[in-house]
Structure 1
């Protein structure tokens, strides 16, 4: 005979689970089966806490990856590129501090000089472009970071698996 399995009652899987024990089997010849009714037991609080901790960690990791992907839509994400961006920003900052000279020299601003040469524009035009790009990035970068932190805070405050997922799903990163 086939064994038909069920639980003693409906239960909330967030806090309870099927136990390892069951009531005595009941033969149900009219259905051609044996009915096995499993007991229900509470999930120990430490197991619930561990499950929630793991779910939060996974949600934070996924959210951080999503924020990184949002940044990559605006930035070139290859090894060493951050160093290149830092060098360009340093040149731009020196140019700003020097009074945004219209006749900036390639020897003083070699990164900008290389780009100016490639594009057949002035070094000052390149530095002005980089200043505008940096300002635009400041706005977008802050929005992305604010959203990343907001979602991570919501995940940390969530007290159920559903609330953790809802917090993770609430992320709304800007796109170009």
Structure 2
């Protein structure tokens, strides 16, 4: 019987493969968690993110204008009277919503990036699992708006 030493898998190689698999699995769990948290906060329609950005831009322009003409603000014109009584209040509402989203997105992005770094730096599967513990302790990140999920209602304009 001949032993082919070059094809043998060492304990170190097995451990490295197991650690790589644990990292891959942890990254997939992290992506799934962040995706679910984001989806709980956004409207899933094609192009909706562009609409929200355009609404924010219109709202900023409306607030900055001295004597705005509603004809120059098609998104405000389309929604005024439905979501808020007038274009000024609607513009402020849109700005409040954008600020809430940025705050929540920043919290979630910091958690995602920190967890990704911890997964990459982990030397053991146990360290990888510890990096993911926040996901169980905090199943979804809530916006800092009195604990209300953005999908469940927005605060009134200031």
Q: Please, what TM-score do these two structures have when normalized by structure 1? A: 0.65
Structure 2 residues without counterparts, runs of 5 or longer: 1-8, 143-148, 150-158
Question: 1 CA distance for matches of 2:84 and 2:95?
Answer: 19
The match for 1:146 is 110
Q: Where does residue 168 of structure 1 map in the other structure?
A: 132
Q: How does 1:19-168 map to 2 (within 5 A)?
A: 43-96=10-63, 98-99=64-65, 101=66, 104-119=68-83, 121-168=85-132
4+ residue runs over 4 A deviation: none
Structure number with the bigger relative contact order (C-alpha 8 A, sep ≥ 6) is 2
CA shift, 1:133, in A, is 1.0
Q: 1:84 to 1:120 in 2, by over 3 A?
A: closer
TM-score (norm 2): 0.72
User: Where is the strand percentage greater, Structure 1 or Structure 2?
Assistant: 1
RMSD (Å), alpha carbons: 2.4
CA displacement at 1:72 relative to structure 2? 2.0
**Could you tell me whether the CA contact under 8 Å between 1:155 and 1:167 is conserved in 2?**
yes
Deviation at 1:117, TM superposition (A): 4.0
Deviations 1:119-158 (A, max 9, x none): 4721111111001111122211111111111111111111
Whole-angstrom CA distance in 1 between matches of 2:44 and 2:112: 18
Structure 1: gaps spanning 5 or more residues: 1-41
